[in-house]
């Protein structure tokens, strides 16, 4: 049975392990006002090539064509804001819920598998594209903090940033974009009004928190279809479990030492 995210009062658990932090403005559809030329200026650059492969043994392949998309800052960062509920210490992960017009228009395409969903509401990771000046690990982390505040109104607590491993390519057959991961512990009680980036759909988006294991179940069930969340939350759980195991081992060693000395 599919679960629904019910938009209740701020902070209230509205489903199994789901908390509303900020309501989304619900969209019912989109009206296309003008179709713009595909080759015009935009957020993405499409390049088309004819090429040959060069081999180590000196050989050369036959001609072939390929296409590739680039972002202005090339890569992106996905943020895993998290907190622990006082009762039961449940790990909650903050996500965005909003409208993606491109997905809404899927229904107009000849899909290989019938899809009844209209995609007027999509749960996804807090994320943002890097800018050309964002360089190095510190630049990516700074961008992650800025996107977190801009999209959710949340600030990272003054605690160590959790490393979630290397970045990944979400669509390496068509795009050069690599997604980097950052995890910050936050306090949802101190959420401010998001600054936003001036776009309509970001202003309309809401913020919710989902219990981590529930979130992974929703990914497997197709209720969440963002790989950034599935990869990020899976890694976050591994990191936190490892940290807990190390703390327990340290406690056992300390008690053993105290018992003997």
Mean pLDDT, residues 123-131 taken together: 96
Residues contacting 193, CB < 8 A, separation 6+ = 153
Structure tokens that stand for 3 in this block: 């679960």
Structure tokens that stand for 26 in this block: 């619900």
C-alpha span between 141 and 135 (Å, rounded): 10
C-alpha span between 117 and 108 (Å, rounded): 12
Q: Which domains does the chain have, with CATH numbers?
A: 13-25+59-260 (3.90.79.10)
C-alpha span between 24 and 208 (Å, rounded): 9
Question: Which pTM was predicted?
Answer: 0.85
Mean pLDDT, residues 28-38 taken together: 90
pLDDT above 60 for 107: yes
C-alpha span between 163 and 183 (Å, rounded): 7
C-alpha span between 55 and 41 (Å, rounded): 36
Per-residue pLDDT tens digits for 181-205? 999 999 999 999 998 888 999 999 9
Per-residue pLDDT tens digits for 143-179? 999 999 999 999 999 998 888 999 999 999 999 999 9
């Amino acid at each position: 049975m599919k679960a629904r995210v019910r938009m209740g009062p701020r902070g209230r658990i509205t489903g199994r392990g789901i908390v509303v932090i900020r309501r989304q403005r619900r969209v019912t559809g989109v009206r296309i006002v003008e179709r713009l030329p595909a080759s015009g200026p935009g957020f993405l650059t499409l390049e088309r090539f004819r090429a040959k492969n060069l081999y180590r043994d000196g050989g050369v392949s036959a001609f072939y064509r390929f296409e590739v998309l680039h972002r202005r800052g090339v890569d992106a960062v996905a943020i895993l804001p998290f907190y622990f509920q006082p009762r039961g210490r449940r790990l909650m992960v903050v996500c965005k819920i909003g409208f993606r017009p491109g997905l809404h228009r899927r229904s107009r395409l000849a899909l290989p598998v019938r899809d009844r969903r209209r995609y007027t509401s999509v749960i996804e990771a807090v994320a943002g594209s890097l800018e050309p000046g964002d360089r190095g690990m510190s630049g990516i982390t700074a961008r992650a903090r800025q996107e977190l505040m801009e999209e959710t109104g949340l600030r990272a607590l003054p605690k160590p940033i959790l490393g979630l491993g290397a970045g990944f390519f979400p669509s390496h057959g068509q795009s050069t974009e690599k997604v980097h991961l950052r995890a910050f512990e936050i306090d949802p009680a101190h959420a401010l009004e998001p600054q936003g980036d001036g776009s309509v759909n970001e202003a309309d988006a809401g913020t919710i928190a989902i219990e981590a294991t529930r979130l992974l179940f929703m990914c497997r069930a197709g209720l969440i279809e963002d790989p950034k969340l599935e990869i990020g939350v899976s890694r976050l759980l591994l990191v936190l479990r490892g940290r807990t195991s190390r703390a327990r081992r340290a406690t056992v060693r300390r008690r053993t030492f105290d018992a003997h000395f």
